[in-house]
Amino acid sequence: MNWINSIVRPKIRDLWKKREVPENLWIKDPETGEMVFHRDLEANLWVVPNSGHHMRMPARKRVETFFDDGNYSDVKTPEVQADPHKFRDSKRYTDRLKEARAKSGEEEAILVAQGKVNGMDMTIAVQNFDFVAGSLGMAAGEAILAGMMKAVEDKTPFIMFAASGGARMQEGILSLMQMPRTTVGVQMLREAGLPYIVVLTNPTTGGVSASYAMLGDVHIAEPGAQIGFAGRRVIEQTVREKLPEDFQTAEYLLDHGMIDMVVPRLELKETIARICGILLKREVELPKLEAPVTEEVEDESIAEDPAEEAESDDKDAKEAEPAS
């Protein structure tokens, strides 16, 4: 009777069990409400295929897809004191950091890496919005500065993918000090004659937009990204006016001259590689264009037989003679 207990009964119980479906199997498009299969979304770099809506992309995945064949090396960043002010609100700051590290799988809000993009050496920094809203703290500031110094040392362009809610309030004035410190790093890149390109993703706000995010040689934004300093509601209450619906979007900033271009995520890699090649005066592989096909049209006057042409001339001459 053991086979009844070990085989039959478990199978009967399985029939009554509710099958669990992963929550992230299907993802809803915020614009159209369309349900998109998560694998299709990942294959399209987290851009909804039908609507073109750019969803937030995981920082580590952005690094992997940006470099050639996904090959890159992480740049070592300095360690800082975890909780200099012993800050506590509803919970301790150290506990928030532990939760963020467990959720994101990363140590801090900035990833710095080096690799090749279309065969060109590059250094990039990516802000992870899933880590305390990508806020700028001491560790993030040190990581950005270390990446810029590494770019100067190796003579590579520096690409900054910004995504942040602003300065990290739990670190107070020490967080705000990272704004001028990263500005010094930008100046180091300029003195070395190296391109500094900023890619503004959704959202880029607060102290980040007031410092290194707006100091690039070229500013590129992803479609629909929210970019600004203060929030929409705060500005409306201050100026006591109703702001346009598309206020603080990438397209609005492009129309008003605040950024240089809006580039879809699928075209970012090629665009950045081309810009860096131009700025560094290196050979750039331009897109190949096929020569236009022209149809050969035969000229009737050339195609005529010489004998027929002579007969036509004689006939015209006789008609022109005056009648006797």
What tens digit of pLDDT does each residue of 217-249 get? 999 999 999 999 998 999 999 999 999 999 999
Give the span between the Cα atoms of 46 and 51, in whole angstroms. Answer: 12
Tokens of 187: 């100046």
Average pLDDT, the chain: 87
In whole angstroms, how far apart are CA 142 and each of 76, 173, 269?
10, 15, 26
Give the span between the Cα atoms of 36 and 28, in whole angstroms. Answer: 6
State the average pLDDT over residues 51-71: 94
* Residue 324 predicted with pLDDT over 50: no
* Residue 102 predicted with pLDDT over 70: yes
Mapped onto helix, strand or coil, the DSSP state of residue 205 is coil
What is the structure's pLDDT at 298?
A: 52
Q: Are strands 35-37 and 218-221 parallel, antiparallel or unpaired?
A: unpaired
Tokens of 55: 């969803």
CB-CB contact of 185 with 209 (8 Å)? no
What is the structure's pLDDT at 31?
A: 84
What is the structure's pLDDT at 287?
A: 58
What is the structure's pLDDT at 293?
A: 72
Task: Answer positive or negative: Cα dihedral of 101, 94, 207, 111.
Answer: negative
What is the structure's pLDDT at 309?
A: 55
Q: Where in the chain is the domain with CATH 3.90.226.10?
A: 56-279
Distance of CA 205 to the CA centre of its chain: 16
* Residue 153 predicted with pLDDT over 60: yes
* Residue 37 predicted with pLDDT over 60: yes
Question: What is the per-residue DSSP string for 30-65?
Answer: TTT--EEEHHHHHHTTTB-TTT--BPPPPHHHHHHH
Burial class (CB in 10 A: 0-12, 13-18, 19+), 182: buried
CB-CB contact of 132 with 100 (8 Å)? yes
Domain 56-279 CATH superfamily:
2-enoyl-CoA Hydratase; Chain A, domain 1 (3.90.226.10)
Q: In 220-253, which positions are buried (b, 16+ CB within 10 angstroms) versus exposed (e)? A: bbbbbbbbbbeeeeeeeeeeeeeeeeeebbbebb
What is the structure's pLDDT at 296?
A: 59
* Residue 169 predicted with pLDDT over 60: yes
What tens digit of pLDDT does each residue of 270-305 get? 999 999 999 998 765 555 667 777 665 555 544 455
Torsion from C-alpha of 303, 304, 307, 313, nearest 10 degrees = -140
State the average pLDDT over residues 148-170: 96
What is the structure's pLDDT at 306?
A: 53
Spatial strand order in the sheet of 158-164: 72-74, 110-117, 120-127, 158-164, 196-204, 218-221, 261-262
- Please tell me the pTM assigned to this model: 0.79
* Residue 109 predicted with pLDDT over 70: yes
Give the span between the Cα atoms of 268 and 116, in whole angstroms. Answer: 14
Angle at which helices 178-191 and 138-154 cross, to 10°: 10
Mapped onto helix, strand or coil, the DSSP state of residue 23 is coil
State the average pLDDT over residues 153-178: 95
Q: How confident is the model at residue 21 (pLDDT cuts 50, 70, 90)?
A: very low
Whole-number percent of the chain with pLDDT over 70: 81
Q: Are strands 35-37 and 26-28 parallel, antiparallel or unpaired?
A: antiparallel
